[in-house]
Amino acid sequence: MDDLTYMALAAKVAAKAGPDETYENPRVGAIIVKNGQILATGYHHSFGAAHAEINAFENLRDQTDIVDSTMYVTLEPCFVTGKVGACALAIAQWGVKRVVVGSFDPNPDTHGRSVTFLRQAGIRVDVLGTEDSQILNPGFYHYFERHLPYVQLKLAESANHFVASSQGQSTKITDRLADIDVHKERASKSAILIGSETMLIDQPNLTVRHVPINHPQPLRVVIDRRGRLQNKMDRATNNWLIFTTNTDFAKQYDNVLLMSHGLLSVLTSLASKNIQSVMVEGGPSLITAFLKANLWQEFIVYTADSILSEDGVPSVQPLFNSVSSYRVGNTLKSRYLNDRSVSCLQE
């Protein structure tokens, strides 16, 4: 097999972990090859756990076989010591003859540094420039390349495209299986964002509950332009962040910030707090605002089998084709990606 084939296999290995498991870390796969034989594979299982390269090495039947082998890894090995040791240093010590990297790490702490380090250690390093890692980790790349969080919009609607039975009323639409799926989506995000209307009507917890996590709960973010929550902050003190245009409100609480230039200023502020990804779970008005501002990368719509009254609150209907659509229990889950050419929508 050639380098591209081995790299494609490494990408399949990386995909064994879900984005909810690796959280802010990228999904990475590694394969160790010697004399045309695959000796071991490994992938990054979860946030804070061993990286793909380490797991591949640990999976060797005889670890001395690593000497003079070729290691294929979907993403440039890490250069800095975080929750685990630096993989580039470990690879240099193992006696690997050649390292084939799918993509440079967009994180400036590592970008190009590991490749240079390994070459200086006498190891042949080839960078293929494949897109496997970007496809596996869109949020990770977006954050480090655009310096803004990856924005995923989420909306639940009835079969006849309504989000609530009436204005100002909380309406349960999806079933438990869809709820679990939503929490898996939440588990992969650094923050969850809603508007003040959703906060006042639904009073959501905005936590990950129905799936296990081994990383911090997402930051809970509310956009409250007028300061409607000013006298209702008893629920929004722990791990909550409020954005407002109300100066008095912002002066009153440490976790209330002024938003100077609309939604872009909110995302810029979140990026400065190392928030890599945001799940927007607001109502149609907030979703529409993100769509019109073209400040989104992904849009997920959960369409239940239930029917709501025609007097209800209309959903938001994207004017572009979904990239995937499948059933989750009694709910149809459709995923849309921003192609940057569609900025209009139909309400």
Domain boundaries, the chain: 1-135, 149-339
Report phi then psi at 284, rounded to 5: -55, -35
Residue 78: both structure tokens together: 């890490």
Adjacency order of strands within the sheet including 98-103: 37-43, 29-34, 70-75, 98-103, 124-127
Q: Does the annotation flag 307 for ligand binding?
A: no
Q: Does the annotation flag 289 for ligand binding?
A: yes
Length of the chain: 347
Which pLDDT value is given to residue 342? 37
Residue 285: both structure tokens together: 């008005």
Contact 65, 101 (CB under 8 A): no
Which pLDDT value is given to residue 165? 79
Q: Does the annotation flag 262 for ligand binding?
A: no
| DSSP-assigned beta bridge partners for residue 346 | 317
Q: Does the annotation flag 291 for ligand binding?
A: no
Instruction: Spell out a b/e string for 179-191, using b for 16 or more CB atoms within 10 Å of the CB, else e.
Output: bebbbbbbbbbbb
Gap between the terminal Cα atoms of the chain? 51
Which pLDDT value is given to residue 347? 30
For the chain, count helices (H), then strands (E): 12, 16
Which pLDDT value is given to residue 113? 96
3-state secondary structure of 39: strand
Report phi then psi at 199, rounded to 5: -60, -45
* Fold of the domain built from segment(s) 149-339: Dihydrofolate Reductase, subunit A (3.40.430)
| Among 49, 56, 125, CA closest to 92 | 125
Residue 34: both structure tokens together: 């010697």
Active site residues: 53
Report phi then psi at 34, rounded to 5: -150, 130
Q: Which residues, at least 6 apart from 8, have a Cβ–Cβ distance to it below 8 Å?
A: 132
* The CATH homologous superfamily of the domain defined by 1-135: Cytidine Deaminase, domain 2 (3.40.140.10)
Report phi then psi at 54, rounded to 5: -65, -45
Q: Does the annotation flag 171 for ligand binding?
A: no
| pTM exceeds 0.85, yes or no | yes
pLDDT in tens, the chain (347 residues): 999 999 999 999 999 999 999 999 999 999 999 999 999 999 999 999 999 999 999 999 999 999 999 999 999 999 987 666 799 999 999 999 999 999 999 999 999 999 999 999 999 999 999 999 999 999 999 999 999 999 999 999 999 999 987 776 777 888 999 999 999 999 999 999 999 999 998 889 999 999 999 899 999 999 999 999 988 887 777 899 999 999 999 999 999 999 988 999 999 999 999 999 999 998 999 999 999 999 999 999 999 998 998 878 889 977 777 889 999 999 999 999 997 633 333 33
Q: Does the annotation flag 344 for ligand binding?
A: no
Which pLDDT value is given to residue 38? 98
Q: DSSP assignment, residue 63?
A: G
Which pLDDT value is given to residue 70? 99
Which pLDDT value is given to residue 234? 79
